[in-house]
Amino acid sequence: MRAIALAWRISKPWMRVSAIIFLLIVGNGLLGIFMPATPEPARAASTVPEHKPDPKPSAINNCRGAIEGIAMNPSSVSYHSFTAPPNVREMPDGRLEVFLKFSAKNAYGSEAASIARCVMSGDGKTLSEITAQPSR
């Protein structure tokens, strides 16, 4: 021990830091050899249900795509999302019903306002039915 104390007193500060780092690395390695790691306690199964993504945005986007697909002039379709936001509700059978107000140019080139009703699958990805009617 005296030799270690003497070496500590005459060493430079950088040597002391290096010695401490060396001892920490080697000490932890040796400690792991002589002392087995304690196993982590088993965690109980989580009672929190898995997070499911909200299907409403997907249903709205897919309904918009379907509207543009059936429009005479797809580039003229504009949605009235600010004045009439999309309405999505879940039907009793689990499917989603989406109502969108939009306007598009008709076959004569004049702007016509309409309301679309899209019936989507429960995950909002598959279109089952689409209907459009003129709005006021």
Q: Please name the residue ranges forming H helices in the chain.
A: 2-10, 13-34, 56-70
25, 19, 24: which is closest to 7 by C-alpha? 19
The average confidence (pLDDT) of the chain is 80
Alpha carbons within 13 angstroms on the beta-carbon side of residue 95 total 12
pLDDT of res. 134: 87
Q: What is the per-residue pLDDT across 55-101, written as a single tens digit (0 to 9) for each?
A: 899 999 999 999 999 888 888 999 887 778 889 999 999 999 999 99
| Average pLDDT, integer, range 45-62 | 83
- Cα 54 to Cα 128: distance, rounded to the nearest angstrom: 19
